Amino acid sequence: MAPFIADPRLLQSSHPVTTLDLCDVRLQDDARYLWAVLIPRRNGVQEIEDLAPADQTQLLAETLQTGKAIRKVAQDLGYPHTKLNIANLGNVVPQLHVHVVSRHTDDPAWPGPVWGHSPALPYPDAQRVRVVMALEAALIAT
């Protein structure tokens, strides 16, 4: 089996958090949103239906686990949270990946989608480290 290769665009726009059974979890580098990206470690997969049935089930479980962790981090770190958005788009980066985004009524894109709304606002280093650590801990605890 060939080693897994993530699309470079996913790697350039995010920071590693942890590795779950199926997915690499990464923090999207936009400090305006508490936003994780799950990347299933399966080469050549573009759609959820391209995954084996067991992987489809695992992806859903890890997506729900990440959503729970995002909500916990929002609460623990004092981020406003109104609604959790979960999406699999793939229009720009066709490699299968799932976005899990904490949204709130005062975020810049509310109530519209965050994708393509405006250029990202990268995390300052200290804030990014704090969010990554909190998200990793929350994922391990769930």
In which element (H, E) is residue 8 found?
A: helix 8-12
Please give the pLDDT value at position 7: 96
Please give the pLDDT value at position 10: 97
Please give the pLDDT value at position 142: 83
Please give the pLDDT value at position 38: 98
Both tokens of residue 5? Answer: 């290769």
With beta carbons less than 8 A apart as the criterion, state whether 44 and 113 touch.
Answer: no
CA quadruple 8, 122, 100, 36: dihedral positive or negative? positive
What is the crossing angle of helices 53-77 and 125-141, to 10°? Answer: 120
Please give the pLDDT value at position 19: 98
Per-residue pLDDT for the chain (142 aa), expressed as one digit of tens each?
Answer: 689 999 999 999 999 999 999 999 999 999 999 999 999 999 999 999 999 999 999 999 999 999 999 999 999 999 999 999 999 998 999 999 999 999 999 999 999 999 889 999 999 999 999 999 999 999 999 8
Please give the pLDDT value at position 2: 83
